[in-house]
């Protein structure tokens, strides 16, 4: 299958979306709390490597043992096969909204829709979970499921944070006794206003 079908991918990953997003958010939170993060000379490069390592560790812990997910840890990366149909990896997004890469043969096999990953059938849908830091590197601008064709984004949909459930507060019972106001008596040195 040259280009992954967005509706099929979305349906296959629907029950995993909250977990995928929590992996990225957890890794980003670890980066924010990392005590030495302000000391790197090459801040952006260090951040990308360290956040990827945090993501890999959290994602393996989250999905290893799940019967619907196969975890494949390699020397320098980790891939996940969901329901034997969606093959994904986590990447930091670049300015085009796709994963930032060094062009190795393994990367070219992944990002080329016609490329076949060794050991997998050609019909596997290859996608990326892309996180994009905001302009100042404090928060995440986007976390998205992305299908790509080489260096361009073919389609994407966001992995939003789960919305908080707002519990309504019960109405407050009215006071049965109205508040009592006791006027203060002026001190002897205070003049009444009408005597000025």
| pTM higher than 0.85 | no
Strands (DSSP E) along the chain, which ranges?
69-73, 78-82, 86-92, 125-133, 140-149, 152-158
Buried (b) or exposed (e) across 20-32, using 16+ Cβ within 10 A? bbbbbbbbbebbe
* pLDDT tens-digit map of 64-117: 999 999 998 888 888 899 999 998 989 998 888 877 776 665 665 666 666 666
Give residue 176's pLDDT band: very low, low, confident or very high (50, 70, 90).
Answer: confident
Q: Among 53-62, 88-97, 124-133, 181-190, where is mean pLDDT lowest?
A: 181-190
Helix runs in the chain, H state only: 6-13, 17-33, 43-63, 105-111
Instruction: Give the model's pLDDT for residue 61.
Output: 95
* pLDDT tens-digit map of 104-163: 656 656 666 666 665 666 678 889 999 999 888 788 989 999 988 878 888 999 998 766
* 93 vs 191 pLDDT, higher one: 93
User: Among all chains, which residue has been given the structure tokens 């060094």?
Assistant: 102
d(CA 120, CA 124): 7
- For residues 40-54, average pLDDT: 89
């Amino acid at each position: 299958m040259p280009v992954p079908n967005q509706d099929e991918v979305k349906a296959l990953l629907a029950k995993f979306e909250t977990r995928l997003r929590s992996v990225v958010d957890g890794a980003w939170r670890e980066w924010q709390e990392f005590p030495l993060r302000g000391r790197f000379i090459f801040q952006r490069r260090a951040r990308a490597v360290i956040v990827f390592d945090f993501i890999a560790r959290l994602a393996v812990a989250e999905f290893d043992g799940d019967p619907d997910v196969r975890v494949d840890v390699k020397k320098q990366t980790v891939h996940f096969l969901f329901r034997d149909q969606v093959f994904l990896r986590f990447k930091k997004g670049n300015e085009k909204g796709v994963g930032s890469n060094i062009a190795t043969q393994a990367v070219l096999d992944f990002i080329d829709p016609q490329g076949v990953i060794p050991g997998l059938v050609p019909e596997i849908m290859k996608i990326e979970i892309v996180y994009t830091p905001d302009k100042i590197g404090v928060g995440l601008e986007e976390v998205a499921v992305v299908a790509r064709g080489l260096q361009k984004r073919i389609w994407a949909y966001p992995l939003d944070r789960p919305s908080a459930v707002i519990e309504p507060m019960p109405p407050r019972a009215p006071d049965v006794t109205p508040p009592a106001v006791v006027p203060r008596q002026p001190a002897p040195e205070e003049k009444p206003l009408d005597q000025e």
